[in-house]
Amino acid sequence: MASAESQKPTCPVCNQTDQVKTMQAAYNSGVARCAPPDMPTRNVSMMKPIVICGVLVGICIFLIITLIGGMESGLNQFVQLGLVVVTLCFIVGSLVTSYLAFQRIVRGDDETTVLFPAWDKATAQWKSLSYCSRDDIVFDPKTNSKVSDQQLAELRASATHQIKSELQAAVQH
């Protein structure tokens, strides 16, 4: 505890350390602008279509089983044919949707791979900053200067901005 206290950086405004917190501690205590950069997790949403497709395929299998049962009970031939067509449409549709969703996940993974170093860098920078609750300021202990809200917003955005420019650069190659 004593060593942690002595490592606290000095606030450039009040020149004291007693109210200085880490960015995480400041964010936990409700200072919204001390929020860490968002982690790149864009492929999570793509799992939903695949789950829906799995459910649809399950319904198709149920329909086929019902169809086989229906044959025995002398179901109308047109109804049977209709069930086969609908079932096939479901299966083909599910496969196509799964394929498209999967391709998007693969692409999303690529983006995340590019994005991750940028996010890592932004987080490391964010961790190096400190917050003084007496003056309600964020400052950089290395340069001993105040960090404006604009700079904080840029830092948070850098994780997602960098990827766009890097992707554009990759497309141009």
Q: Which residues bind Zn ion (CB under 5 A)?
A: 11, 13-14, 132, 134-135
Q: How far is the CB of 9 from Zn ion (least distance, A)?
A: 10
CA 127 to chain centre: 20
Give me the least distance between CB of 36 and Zn ion, in Å please.
Answer: 22
Q: Which is nearer to Zn ion, 42 or 146 (CB)?
A: 146
Which of 14, 75 has the CB closer to Zn ion?
A: 14
Q: Cβ of residue 148: shortest distance to Zn ion, in angstroms?
A: 16
Enter the DSSP assignment of 128: H
CB nearer to Zn ion: pick between 10 and 97: 10
Q: How many CB atoms lie within 10 A of CB 155?
A: 19
Select from 112, 124, 103 the least CA-distant residue to 162.
Answer: 112
Work out how close the CB of 147 gets to Zn ion at its nearest, in angstroms, rounded to a whole number: 13
Q: Which is nearer to Zn ion, 45 or 148 (CB)?
A: 148
